[in-house]
Amino acid sequence: MQTLLPRFAAAALLLSVAQISLAGAPPGLPDNAAGSVSGTVTLVQAVPGGAVDVRVDGRELHRVAHLGDVIGPVRLPAGRHALAFVGSGGSVARATVWLRPGSSVDVVLHRPAGTRGASVVTSFPTPTRPIRAGWARIMVAATASLVPADVRVDDRVVFANIANGESVTVDVKAGRHLVALVPTGQPAPAVLGPLKVSVAAGTVTMVYAAGGPPTGAPRAIVHTIALGSRGGAAPGSVHTGTVGLARDLPVRVFGP
Amino acid sequence: MIQPHRFKSVLLTAAAVAVLAAVVGLVTRGPADPVVPEAPQSLRLPSGRVVPVHAVSTDRHGQLDVPDSPRSAGWWRGGSRVGDPSGKTLLAAHVDSPRLRLGPFAELYDARPGLQLVLRSAGLRQDFRVRSVGVIRRESLTARPDLYSPSGTRQLVLVTCAPPYDPTHGGYQNLVVLVASPDGPATPTATR
């Protein structure tokens, strides 16, 4: 764990800057009250040992994100956004994201392919295209220090020789599935998993491999997003805040 | 069987009655007439701040599609409208955003009993008074039809997010719920 902090600090010297372009969005789109020109960003911290602060457009979104933390989804206006992961030593890993209206993207701070080198930032657009009833989607991304690996879902190779920063998406029937990364061309032993992933119909589940040598075996970071369609059902929940500015405000409670 | 000339005369009589009814309706129209309910378009908060209101739906998981900007509120279109004699009008707005910071609905945190709210549609206005402010779990709305049902006592219900704030578990964990009762029925506005 401790060895990772100096490594992450080295990122400051290199100032790892990732330019991420999600095509289709012109810059400077205004915020829109009707909600048609915004998207969501989810930030994933996949670097062991390095506690980082997360900033969006120069403002602090989250303090002290550790390995495995999934922050968001955060709704942002469509257009260009500057994201930064700031380490305790002042190291910075940056990314620029072009957010398309209605789109969703994961921005992942992760280890490079090798066991040395600065942390990198990669964006993974959420695969939100329509899905048939009763099915779910699984995306697996190689975001750990790994030997050359194949992605296996339910013992079937869905991506051979995946590289660091690459991902693969498969549609599966809702239910429980096994996800594993195995050395390329070999059925076993897995370098990650096999993970039992339970997926609900109409959802997309992202599986990120995180860490890896020299800080132990890779682990998985998993999160799920609904592939929503608008309807008229009774409201079950309301998500009406994004940045925590009201976290310390007291509420004056009264009445019946 | 009605003869052709008799049929024509019946039609003429019916038309005359319809025209007469329309004229009488125009002449006698007044505040006592039942209003035609309309979708809300704006809300004036106790501070005087006016927030535009947009009709919104729920997604397949029952989550309300609240406008992105905290300066706008979403009205659940399955609930009561301005001018409906009963039921709840549920409005929700974001409490904050990265770009616009705290929004007008942060005012709900500090509301007092009896403060006035004004709900307007294209041609109607209804005044409400704050009755209560409470805090519920964010996901518990399903179990509270009294906060959104188009039946029951006529009320205006405003919600926005409230602490605790946990960004690793979807942000705010609670909702502030303000309930207001009408001062009187909805009335046509002067511009109608």
Q: Report the residue of chain B nearest A239, measured CA to CA.
A: B161
pLDDT for the residue numbered A45: 93
Mean of per-residue pLDDT scores for chain B: 81
Of B59, B113, B148, the CB nearest to A230: B59
**Chain B within 8 Å of A57 (Cβ-Cβ)?**
yes
Per-residue pLDDT for A18 more than 60?
no
CA angle A122, A123, A126 (to 5 degrees): 145
Query: Is A31 in contact with B110 (Cβ distance < 8 A)?
Result: no
What is the residue extent of each domain of chain B?
1-28, 41-188
Q: Is the peptide bond before A26 cis (omega within 30 degrees of 0)?
A: no
Per-residue pLDDT for B74 more than 90?
yes
Query: Is B148 in contact with A252 (Cβ distance < 8 A)?
Result: no
Among residues 64-93 of chain B, which lie with CB inside 8 Å of chain A? 64-69, 71-72, 76-78, 90, 92-93
Q: How far is CA A152 from the centre of its chain?
A: 20
Mutate to test the interface with B, among A238, A242, A247 (most CBs of B within 10 A): A238
pLDDT tens, residue by residue, B93-120: 999 888 878 899 999 999 999 999 999 9
Lowest mean pLDDT across A32-41, A43-52, B154-163: A32-41
DSSP collapsed to 3 states, A183-196: ECCCCCCCCEEEEE
- Residues of chain B with Cβ-Cβ distance to A251 below 8 Å are 109, 133, 135, 162, 176
Q: Report the residue of chain A nearest B179, measured CA to CA.
A: A255
pLDDT for the residue numbered A34: 31
* CATH fit for domain B41-188, picks 1.10.10.60, 2.40.260.10, 3.40.630.30, 3.40.50.1220: 2.40.260.10
Query: Is B61 in contact with A228 (Cβ distance < 8 A)?
Result: yes
From residue B14, give the alpha-carbon distance in Å to each of A140, A239, B8, B9, B27.
72, 55, 10, 9, 20
- Which DSSP helix (H) or strand (E) runs through B52? strand B50-56
Query: Is A243 in contact with B62 (Cβ distance < 8 A)?
Result: no
**Chain B within 8 Å of A232 (Cβ-Cβ)?**
yes
**Chain B within 8 Å of A247 (Cβ-Cβ)?**
yes
Mean pLDDT of the region A193-208: 88
Q: Which residue has tokens 């330019």? A: A19
Question: Nearest Cα to A140, choosing from A46, A251, A220?
Answer: A220
Name the percent of chain B lying above pLDDT 90: 46
Coil vs helix vs strand at B47: coil
| Predicted-complex ipTM score | 0.74
Query: Is A33 in contact with B52 (Cβ distance < 8 A)?
Result: yes
pLDDT for the residue numbered A244: 84
With b meaning 16 or more CB within 10 Å and e meaning fewer, what string describes A24-49? ebeeebebbbbbebbbbbbbbbbbbb
Among residues 115-174 of chain B, which lie with CB inside 8 Å of chain A? 131-135, 138-139, 141-142, 145, 148, 159-165, 167-168, 170-172
Name the percent of chain B lying above pLDDT 70: 78
pLDDT tens, residue by residue, A65-115: 888 888 888 888 888 999 999 988 888 899 999 888 767 899 999 998 887
Per-residue pLDDT for B23 more than 50?
no
Mean pLDDT of the region A158-185: 92
What is the residue extent of each domain of chain A?
1-126, 128-228
Report the predicted TM-score, pTM, of the whole model to 2 decimal places. 0.48
Query: Is A235 in contact with B113 (Cβ distance < 8 A)?
Result: no
pLDDT for the residue numbered A134: 72
Query: Same CATH fold, A128-228 and A1-126?
Result: yes
Of A35, A233, A234, the CB nearest to B67: A35
pLDDT for the residue numbered A72: 81
Name the percent of chain A lying above pLDDT 70: 80
pLDDT for the residue numbered A49: 82
pLDDT for the residue numbered A92: 85
Percentages helix, strand, coil for chain A, rounded to the nearest 5?
5, 50, 45
Query: Is B161 in contact with A256 (Cβ distance < 8 A)?
Result: no
Query: Is A241 in contact with B165 (Cβ distance < 8 A)?
Result: yes
Per-residue pLDDT for A6 more than 70?
no
Give B31's pLDDT tier (boundaries 50, 70, 90): very low
Mean pLDDT of the region B39-62: 88
In this structure, which amino acid lies at residue A48? P
Mutate to test the interface with A, among B43, B68, B136 (most CBs of A within 10 A): B68
pLDDT for the residue numbered A215: 78
* CATH architecture for residues A128-228: Sandwich (2.60)
Question: Nearest Cα to B158, choosing from B36, B31, B14, B44?
Answer: B44
Of B62, B98, B163, the CB nearest to A233: B62
By the 10 Å C-beta count (0-12 exposed, 13-18 middle, 19+ buried), A59 is classed as exposed
Per-residue pLDDT for B146 more than 80?
yes
* CATH fit for domain A1-126, picks 1.10.10, 3.40.190, 2.60.40, 1.10.1060: 2.60.40
